[in-house]
Amino acid sequence: MKHIVALMCLSIEALPIQAAPEGMLLPANTPSGYLTRLLINEAPFPGERGYVSEEDSKATLRALLLVIDARRNRIPPGYTREEVAATSSTNIIDVITAGGDSNQMDGFYRDTAGRPAMAPRVKARVARLQRIASQGEPDRFARLLAYAQTLSNDYLEGKPPSPDLFASITHIPPRTVTGHAYAWMTDQEYYHPGGDFIRIPNRLRGRLGGNRFYTLEKRKVPAAQPAAPGAPLVTVPQ
């Protein structure tokens, strides 16, 4: 795993070096710093929509990281990584920035030079959270930031968070499912990932930090290969 980390460091070393404000997080141009900012960006802090408690936000951070891990390392039988993660790569930066221009993880993408980048609003929010966390005695803001950074560091050293709340889910009526979560979305009624993603209900803790987590329907047979370019859209069964 350390070898992988070293490779990932090389892959983004072209990023301009920028120190994290107040030094609470590793710089964004390191894999761990970049991953940490993704986790922070998707978890609510006190006062923000979706905030329930510090423990709920910590559970959110863990669940988010486990989605990334599942996309890298736990593609279920019958699925391809391209289908689930929009990339064939297991590199964590590739998984985070997958999707090209239509990046899958909102606000995280590769710039025109191919370097991992973040939307200005993501940078602004992370800076604001660090500024608040550094005011007075360390409290929930500081603890949540530190927790996110520790999770990222541990993960890149080969220690994913445990337990995985969704690993053992096998049945969400009426569907048989794969277990593990493979996607999350802001929990709004008008969002749904479509395809074979199955909503994990509240009773199985599928809602965390204002996000909804999704597992996959279990496939008995692999999905059909995509048609070759130029193939007819409609054919007559023989």
User: Can you give the binding site for another protein, defined by CB under 8 A?
Assistant: 44, 46-56, 83-84, 86, 99, 102-104, 106, 119-121, 124, 128, 132-133, 135-137, 139-141, 173, 182-197, 199, 201-203, 205, 207-208, 210
- Tell me the closest approach of the beta carbon of residue 158 to another protein, in angstroms: 26
- Tell me the closest approach of the beta carbon of residue 1 to another protein, in angstroms: 26
CB closer to another protein, 113 vs 189? 189
Q: How far is CA 41 from CA 92, 112, 201, in A?
A: 17, 22, 23
- Tell me the closest approach of the beta carbon of residue 168 to another protein, in angstroms: 17
CB closer to another protein, 156 vs 212? 212
- Tell me the closest approach of the beta carbon of residue 98 to another protein, in angstroms: 10
Helix/strand/coil for 171: strand
CB closer to another protein, 167 vs 185? 185
Q: Count of alpha carbons within 13 Å of 178, Cβ hemisphere only? A: 23
- Tell me the closest approach of the beta carbon of residue 204 to another protein, in angstroms: 9
- Exposure b/e, 77-96, CB count within 10 A at least 16 = b: ebbebeebbbbeeebbbbbb
CB closer to another protein, 156 vs 183? 183
Q: How far is CA 230 from CA 83, 233, 236, 238, in A?
A: 21, 9, 16, 20
**In 189-233, beta strands by DSSP E:** 197-199, 207-208, 211-216
CB closer to another protein, 128 vs 159? 128
Give yes or no for a contact between 70 and 180, defined as CB atoms under 8 angstroms apart: yes
